[in-house]
Chain A
Amino acid sequence: MVTVAAEKKKASLIIIGGGVVACATAYNLAKKGMNDIIVLEKKEIGNGGSCRNAGGVRQSARDVRELPLAMYAVSNIWPTLSDELDVDVEYVQRGNLRLGKTEAHIKTLTGITKKSTDAGLDVKMITGDEAREICPYMSDEVIGASWCPTDGHANPLHTTLGFYRKALQAGVTFISGVKVNGIRKYRGRARFVDTDDGVYEGDNILLCAGWESRAIADTVGIELPIIREFSECMVTEMEPDMFPVMLGTAESDFYGGQTKHGSFVMGGMCGMEPYVSEKDRFITNSVTAPCLSRGIIKYFPVLKDVKIIRTWSGWYDVCKDKVPIIDNISEVPGLTIAAGFCGHGFGISPATGLAVSELILDGESHTIDISGLKYDRFRAKA
């Protein structure tokens, strides 16, 4: 029997949103001795992108502004995260292949590769045959690929809920089923959080509620240029171990890979996304999974007889310049924002948790350089 604590509505820190960023930040803060934290979640822990992504952990093809987070996470956190969280986060570092079938594809991939090598990453272009050596089940139509051997993937469900469990054990309070309507200032500082369960009060407030952060930030006059973008994913039945690499294509037909469990998790878009759903429910569309299946079979004909057992969907929180906002807000002292991860936030989430914990405790992130992710970087055309 789990004991339910008496009503607690006041804490040193109120975190709005219960995803992987919230859980990782709460864990990092609690580790440093600050556990007087209330996390407010509208539905369930990790119910947004945190548990809906395919688990990619990559450094390649990242914007240089968020690359320090990715490099820190891959070098210093992911390799030992299973031990730290006391659960198998299924992290494997066996590389990422981005596949091309036409000369135009190769041109796209060469461009992406150059950006990564310019940033100092070990990424290179390889031939179709070299790609087939890494992943023998690939179609002969693949004529080239970009290859980053230090990329990998992990289990987003275990990672998110693993951070949650550790934070909980360290004394953090999580409250689910509470919808946040806005933030209010008291004497110039962010102080009150208005919810459908009354008012919560914190010395500091962290807003990390995905695309829904925008409406909440707006209540204290901060405009976040974040929109939501719909995407779908699907999973197959269990198969023998076929390949450990993470896959993508130049044409973005699909992305994904095989999990430790044996199932393939593949996601992507059918091209109709902006027009199929205005609903806030996580619906799936009849046209998307067939479209992804066609994409996958083109590259991996051997998978044509594998059964799809489930599809699901989620929202990317897409920021205007495709990198997140992670910053303390000067106009609203006491408020920190971490949102707009654009669908590539999972791989950097352990490092994000560390950076945000330093932002809150020390006022700046001194371990990882996040100076390119400031909230006031956006300008209208001159």
Chain B
Amino acid sequence: MTKIVRTAATEPFKPMPDDDMIVCRCEEITKGEIRKAVYDGMSTTNEVKRWLRCGMGLCQGQTCQKNVQSIISRELGLKIPDIGQITGRSPVRPVVMEVFANDVLDVHEEA
């Protein structure tokens, strides 16, 4: 990870005209909320995600991650690799629990 020094903001938060634009559609998180999270000290894609839930919904950030990253990086003046990305995780698409649970069905039938 890139070294990031975090200290308290010295100036008040500056709202922007398009702050009410929804960026994460699954969790309905706006650009303003993301900018405010960065202002509050969240300085990586994961930290903003954990604070706001953007990228934690059904699509797991597959739709919004790039936009979230570019907002964070612009606010901080850092490059995208510096702020990292959401860890890609199994399952790639939501899977019904009963289907997941059946992965040993064949073994059980033989036994």
Contacts and interface: CB of A to CB of B under 8 A. Distances in A.
Nearest to B1: A177
Interface residues of B, number: 45
A4 interface: yes
A2 B44 CA distance: 13
Interface stretch (A43-51, A325-333, A363-371): A43-51
Contacts of B46: 44, 47
Nearest to A294: B101
Contacts of A47: 46
Interface in B42-77: 42-44, 46-47, 50-51, 53, 56-58, 60, 75-77
A176 B4 CA distance: 5
B89 A312 contact: yes
A169 B97 contact: no
A138 to B, nearest CB: 16
B36 to A, nearest CB: 11
Most chain B beta carbons < 10 A, residue from A165, A284, A297: A165
Contacts, number: 139
Contact of B58 (A5, A237, A293): A237
Interface residues of A, number: 54
Nearest to B27: A261
A53 to B, nearest CB: 12
Contacts of A5: 5, 7
Contact of B95 (A51, A158, A178, A308): A308
A367 B93 CA distance: 49
Interface in A288-318: 289-290, 293-294, 296-297, 303-312
Interface string A213-238: 00000000000000000000000110
A94 B10 CA distance: 41
A286 B90 contact: yes
A222 B36 CA distance: 42
Most chain A beta carbons < 10 A, residue from B7, B87, B89, B95: B7
Contacts of A311: 89-91
A335 to B, nearest CB: 24
Contact of A4 (B5, B75, B96): B5
Contact of B77 (A1, A44, A237): A1
A161 B90 CA distance: 25
Given A168-B40, A236-B97, 11 more contacts: A1-B75, A2-B41, A161-B42, A168-B6, A171-B7, A174-B7, A197-B3, A289-B90, A294-B104, A296-B97, A303-B97
Interface of B: 1-11, 38-44, 46-47, 50-51, 53, 56-58, 60, 75-77, 84, 87, 89-91, 94-98, 100-104
